Amino acid sequence: MPMIGIENLTVRFGPTTVLHGVSFEVANGESFALVGESGSGKSTILKALAGQVEDWSGRMTLDGTAMKRGDAPHARQVQMVFQDPYGSLHPRRSVDDTLAEPLAIHGIKGRDARVLAMLDAVGLPRRFRFRLPHQLSGGQRQRVAIARALMLEPPVLLLDEPTSALDVSVQAEILNLLKGLRQEKHLTYLLVTHDLPVVSFLCDRLAILRQGRIEEQAPVAALRLGQLTSAYGQELYRRSTEG
């Protein structure tokens, strides 16, 4: 049974169809990438899985449970990490408040121990616990965002360009963190990115989207060897190597 199942997913925004019968599966513990240019439908898939899309048809499952239209998945099943680590954090809430909020909403006790343990898990010094977002660097803010997503111990993380807003040196730190957390906590990742080197480092398989359709699915080994089978996949690979 896949951890994430997408079957014939079609999404419309008004009269415009942005996803056309997309299908793929992500195994338990796998890291799977959705790759393509802006407007290809990558982030729409994440939003659909997060319950943020109303007009969709097809079938979506999380750990074997079918999602229903109008219902958001349970927060303990899936959480999202966004592209902008500053915009996704409340500017007037301390790190402590940000991390403790999911615990309060779900009536989970042991706030202090859980917050400190998660700071340790994402590599943030405990002295940062009561700082505000503007007192943190971009990489530190993204660590807070990742920690918040993990507070309820969901098995699935949706990663929407999680490093693209960061400096190159900081990107490597966050990617290493995500890789380590996946192994340590046996997480399943669904990553949206246009950066093929990120896919090569973090993922096991990928799907290439173009204009709302999947052009091909491939193991990451095919990407590393430049052996993608679709013309569009080869074009994206060529661009990434030329850049």
Instruction: Evaluate if residue 94 carries a pLDDT over 90.
Output: yes
pLDDT of residue 86: 73
- CA angle centred on 85, ends 79 and 90, rounded to 5°: 85
* CB contact set of 66 (below 8 Å; sequence gap of 6+): 59, 60
Amino acid occupying residue 33:
A
Give pLDDT, residue 243. 59
Q: What is the mean pLDDT of residues 111-139?
A: 95
For residue 87, how many other CB atoms are within 10 A of its CB?
12
Q: Which pLDDT score, from 0 to 100, does residue 223 have?
A: 95
Name the one residue in this structure whose structure tokens are 């990438």.
Answer: 33
Residue 198 has pLDDT above 70, yes or no: yes
From the number of C-beta atoms within 10 Å of its C-beta (0-12, 13-18, 19+), residue 105 rates as: exposed
Do the domain assignments include residue 135? no
The reply to whether 107 falls in a domain is: no
Sequence-separated (6 or more) residues with CB below 8 Å from residue 132 = 91, 92, 93, 94, 95
Assigned domain for 199 exists: yes
Please give the distance of CA 8 from its chain centroid, rounded to a whole number. 21
Q: Which two tokens stand for residue 104?
A: 């309060």
User: Domain for residue 108, yes or no?
Assistant: no
Rg over CA atoms, the chain: 18
Domain contains 160? yes
Amino acid at 87: G
Q: What is the pTM for the complete model shown?
A: 0.94
Residue type, 239: R
- Residue 36 in any domain: the answer is yes
Is 23 a domain residue?
Answer: yes
Q: Taking residues 143-152, what's their average pLDDT?
A: 95
What are the tokens at 136? 């943190």
pLDDT of residue 169: 85
Look at residue 54 in the predicted model and tell me its pLDDT. Answer: 86
Region 155-177: what's the mean pLDDT? 92
Domain count of the fold of the chain: 1
pLDDT tens for residues 26-52? 999 999 999 998 889 999 999 999 988
Per-chain mean pLDDT for the chain: 93
Q: Is residue 171 part of a domain?
A: yes
Name the amino acid, one letter, at 12.
R
**Calpha distance 212→86 (Å, rounded):** 29
Query: What's the rounded Cα separation, in Å, for the pair 208 and 17?
Result: 18
Residue 72 sits in which domain range? 4-88+155-242
| 9-13, 51-55, 81-85, 187-191: the lowest-pLDDT one | 81-85
> What percent of the chain lies above the pLDDT cut of 90?
79
180 compared with 90, residue with greater pLDDT:
180
Average pLDDT for residues 59-65, to the nearest whole number? 93
Band of pLDDT at residue 151, cut at 50, 70 and 90: very high
CA angle 172, 208, 24 (to 5 degrees): 105
Q: Is 9's pLDDT higher than 90? A: yes
Determine the pLDDT at residue 76: 83
For the chain, what percentages of helix, strand and coil (3-state, to nearest 5) are there?
A: 40, 25, 35
* Residue, of 54 and 94, whose pLDDT is higher: 94
pLDDT tens readout for residues 67-93:
887 776 677 899 999 887 778 888 899
Task: Name the phi and psi angles at 158, rounded to 5.
Answer: -95, 120
CB 34 within 8 A of CB 207: yes
Range 123-132 average pLDDT: 96
| Helices marked H in the chain | 42-49, 95-105, 111-121, 138-150, 168-185, 196-202, 220-224, 231-242
Contact 148, 157 (CB under 8 A): no
Residue 52 Cα distances to 17, 48, 49, 173, angstroms = 16, 6, 8, 30
Instruction: Return the CATH number at 197.
Output: 3.40.50.300
pLDDT at 72: 67
Tell me, what's the pLDDT at 216? 96
